[in-house]
Amino acid sequence: MISVDLRENEKKVLVALKDFGGKSVVEKIVEVTGLAYAAVMRAVLSLEDKKLVKMSERKVTRFSLNDEGKRYARDKLPERRLAETLIKMGGEASIGDVFKAASMDNEMATIALGWLIRKGWAKMETGERKLKILRAPEVGSDEKLIAMLNAAGVLTLEDLDNSLKDAFKILKGRKILVVSEGSIKEVEITDEGWSLLKRGIEVVEEITQLTPELIVTGKWREKRILKYDIKAPAPRVWPGKKHPYLRFLDEVREKLVALGFKEMNGPTVEISFFNCDGLYMPQDHPAREIHDMYLVKDPEYGDLNPYMRLLEQVKETHENGWRTGSKGWGYKFSLLMAARLILRSHTTAVSVRTLISEDLEIPGKYFAIARCYRPELMDKTHLSEFNQVEGIVVGEDLTLRDLLGILERFAKDIAGADKVRFKPDYFPFTEPSVELSAYKEGYGWMEFGGSGIFRPEVTLPLGINVPVLAWGLGVDRLFMMKAGVNDIRQLFTHDLNWLRRKEVV
């Protein structure tokens, strides 16, 4: 038989398990040994590593009485109070008199009457509005469970028999319970552990530190000094770290800055002029409907006065093409609609603000990482609140080939894609327009977003006379591909297991 060197706490846990018949939950071991929960868990993990015990975990449902339930435990269930009052009144009385004698308000009386009849303790003669007792009320499983809860405080559903489990469903339906999901760790002695216990173990106090008192008095000779075991298992420690997705956004920002892009910013609550009109999106475009944008309720309109010169040029472009060589959309432009406040539906609104800024540099490269909002139906690839990474490149002699090169490098360097593909698309504000999709081995193809070259109807009214390459990509989806996540909702999860184990790269 291989000798096993056990520490004091490990011996205490083994002895406690033996007294429990070989199996117990961690909480009871803590109670019997007087050790801290963490100390017991360390001892159990060490014993498990030595094959002397095995630990299992099971999900449990714990529940207790809420304030209303505690009142019932103290004053009895309302139907019992009503039944006992009716018996005292001779077993038959008018409904109103019984309620009055039982001192019940209308709400409580309604609850009591319903359960009184449901349990078959009495019946109601509707014609005369009388209550008549049918049988003496016995103590049911629901009242037994209330009494148990009143005495114990908290019970575990899985430990109850079937009748009490049925009573739990009833009391839960009556909304008088506080229910929570949890887990129980059970520890059981293995055959090797029993063999060691049969040979006998002695619990000897161990010390981890030599104090001046022990040395001066010589008591250190009577003590056992604990050996330091570098192989002993230790509890996992989860240090604080930045959320994996936030860390990815920082990486995207750093890479774009390294490529010479400058960051641009804009407000979350935006004026329709920047979100739509400045992008040559007609005011009767389907995306303007309430189903594709969130409208701000109060205040409804923003201030257009600082942009009146530009607004007039954009207005004429929509109506007749202004000086762009276009015929425009041919409708009456509404200044009121242009002032409507909305939640930004795409980051291209930030690009418009940048193009009219006095700080705009030509040539220049700009980007934004911003939160956008659309009333989407949520599924594994869509959220109503999401992030986009937007980019514009302003300069002479820019072509579609330049745009495709930027997008391909972006998808491969940022998202780790293996290959990309482009297909023609349509946007009111770009021509030509291109949709980007990327592929990663083991993940498949994913659509990232749209891009193109701003139309003259966008740039000329804003005072820009050179080509502007523009792209707006779903950065949420970029991270999904890089991290191998198949459901976009996972990005904003509270799943601590995933958050803790997601590697730091």
* Residue 119 CA from chain centroid, whole number: 42
pLDDT of residue 504: 61
pLDDT of residue 501: 77
DSSP 44-90: HHHHHHTTSEEEEEEEEEEEEE-HHHHHHHHH--HHHHHHHHHHHTT
pLDDT of residue 289: 66
What does the block give as tokens for 346? 């795409």
Q: Does residue 56 register a pLDDT over 60?
A: yes
What does the block give as tokens for 337? 């609609």
Band (pLDDT 50/70/90 cuts) for residue 1 is very low
Band (pLDDT 50/70/90 cuts) for residue 29 is very high
Q: How far apart are CA 255 and CA 185, in angstroms?
A: 47
For residue range 264-304, list pLDDT tens digits in order.
Answer: 999 999 999 999 999 999 998 776 765 578 999 999 999 99
451 closest CA partner among 474, 475, 435: 435
Sheet holding 23-25, edge to edge: 23-25, 177-189, 53-65, 155-156
pLDDT of residue 243: 86
For residue range 389-444, list pLDDT tens digits in order.
Answer: 999 999 999 999 999 998 998 888 877 889 999 999 998 899 999 999 988 888 88
- In the block, residue with structure tokens 């944008």: 293
Q: Does residue 5 register a pLDDT over 80?
A: no
What does the block give as tokens for 249? 């956004």
Whether pTM > 0.85 for this model: the answer is no
Band (pLDDT 50/70/90 cuts) for residue 79 is very high
Which amino acid is residue 205, in one-letter code? E
SS (H, E, C) 141-186: HHHHHHHHHHHHCCEEHHHCCHHHHHHHHHHHHCCCEEEEEEEEEE
Q: How far apart are CA 285 and CA 300, in angstroms?
A: 20
Of residues 20 and 446, more confidence is placed in 20
279 closest CA partner among 101, 147, 427: 427
Q: How far apart are CA 376 and CA 383, in angstroms?
A: 6
- The conformation of residue 221, written as its DSSP 8-state character, comes to G
Distances (CA, A) of 27 to 37, 40, 188: 7, 9, 14
- Domains, the chain, ordered by start: 8-57+185-225 (1.10.10.10), 67-133 (1.10.10), 141-175 (no CATH), 246-267+345-501 (3.30.930.10)
What does the block give as tokens for 53? 């015990």
If you average pLDDT over every residue of the chain, what do you get? 89
For residue range 169-196, list pLDDT tens digits in order.
Answer: 999 999 999 999 888 899 999 999 999 9
3-class DSSP assignment, residue 204: coil
Q: How far apart are CA 370 and CA 475, in angstroms?
A: 9
Rounded average pLDDT over 82-110? 89
- In the block, residue with structure tokens 């040979």: 199
3-class DSSP assignment, residue 443: coil
Q: How far apart are CA 283 and CA 272, in angstroms?
A: 9
Band (pLDDT 50/70/90 cuts) for residue 133 is very high
Q: Do 317 and 331 touch, CB atoms closer than 8 A?
A: no
- In the block, residue with structure tokens 């714990």: 62
356 closest CA partner among 302, 304, 307: 307
Q: How far apart are CA 471 and CA 449, in angstroms?
A: 8
Burial of 264 (0-12, 13-18, 19+ CB in 10 A): buried
Q: Does residue 159 register a pLDDT over 80?
A: yes
> End-to-end distance of the chain based on CA atoms, in angstroms?
47
DSSP 6-55: --HHHHHHHHHHHHTTSEEEHHHHHHHH---HHHHHHHHHHHHHTTSEEE
Which amino acid is residue 79, in one-letter code? E
SS3 content of the chain, % helix, strand, coil (to 5): 40, 25, 35
Burial 175-213 (b: 16+ CB within 10 A, else e): ebbeeeeeebeebebbebbeebbeeebeeeeeeeeeeee
pLDDT of residue 2: 43
Rounded average pLDDT over 378-399? 89
Lowest model confidence (mean pLDDT) among 136-140, 230-234, 331-335, 463-467? 230-234
